[in-house]
Structure 1
Amino acid sequence: MGKRVVVKLPELIVKHNMSMRELSRLADVRPQALNELANQKRRNINFGHLERIADVFDTNDMNEIITLVDTDDDDE
Structure 2
Amino acid sequence: MEKKVIVKIKDLLKKHNISLRELSRLTDIRHAALSELSNQKRENINFGHIEKIADALQIDDIREIIDLIDR
TM bracket (short chain): over 0.9
Please, which runs of 5 or more residues in structure 1 have no aligned partner? 72-76
How much identity, in percent, do the aligned residues show?
59
Q: Which residue of 2 aligns with 1:41?
A: 41
Q: Which residue of 2 aligns with 1:64?
A: 64
> Superposition RMSD on alpha carbons, in Å?
0.7
Q: TM-score, normalization: structure 2? A: 0.95
Q: Which residue of 2 aligns with 1:26?
A: 26
Q: TM-score, normalization: structure 1? A: 0.89
Divergent runs of 4+, >2 A: none
Q: Which residue of 1 aligns with 2:10?
A: 10
What is the deviation of 1:26?
0.3
Higher Cα Rg, which structure? 1
Please, which runs of 5 or more residues in structure 2 have no aligned partner? none
